[in-house]
Structure 1
């Protein structure tokens, strides 16, 4: 079980490279709840399935923030986010990551 005050994460490990050069989407992801986040997914809204878990084996504890980089080569801005907490609760939301410098989960 790993815990960091500020993580640097990338979500491009198993994605097919693109010939176009889209900019990486970078934002601060803040956990302002009382529970640790054990899984975090971000997938373009046009995709029917979730991409790989961004946190991997890491955990984002309550009150912590992580710098997230999505370097998937896509030109999409609208992403679906799926957050799984240590108690099994799940939150899903859609946001424009091109316009977002930070995203905060609150209770």
Structure 2
């Protein structure tokens, strides 16, 4: 690489502020007493639910766990979760910090 260009490239890297999109993988443990048929997640400041995160695995019965992947490219950490169940109830959890999340256990109240 040209020695003259190197300082300019280094300086431009310091001033660049790219948005860091994230892909998050975590373990979802279903202790709700319900069979989960759909799981949606969206950034807490977004009014729209994303795609069904259980689409590839189908349903998640109570007492079971699965790995879930959120790859929506958002740079947000706080997410809302919505679960639809085979038995009817919809369960929602709000402002989950997915940046620090390794396991999420769903328990119905």
Q: What is the TM-score when the length of structure 1 is the normalising length?
A: 0.75
Question: For 1:1-107, what aligned pairs fall within 5 Å after superposition?
Answer: 20-56=19-55, 58-94=58-94, 95-107=96-108
* Structure 2 unaligned regions, length at least 5: 1-17
Deviation string 1:17-51 (CA, Å, 9 cap, x unpaired) is xx855231111111013221011001111111111
Question: Contact 2:26–2:68 at 8 Å: present in 1 too?
Answer: yes
**Higher strand proportion (structure 1 or 2):** 1
CA RMSD of aligned residues (A): 1.6
Match of 2:15 in 1: none
Question: Contact 2:54–2:68 at 8 Å: present in 1 too?
Answer: no
| 1:60 Cα offset (Å) | 0.3
Give aligned pairs, total.
89
| 1:54 Cα offset (Å) | 1.2
**Partners of 1:34 and 1:59 in 2: CA distance:** 13
**Higher helix proportion (structure 1 or 2):** 2
* Structure 1 unaligned regions, length at least 5: 1-18
Q: After the TM superposition, which segments of 4 or more aligned residues of structure 1 sit over 2 Å from their partners?
A: 19-23
**Partners of 2:37 and 2:107 in 1: CA distance:** 15
**Partners of 2:24 and 2:87 in 1: CA distance:** 29
**Partners of 1:54 and 1:96 in 2: CA distance:** 17
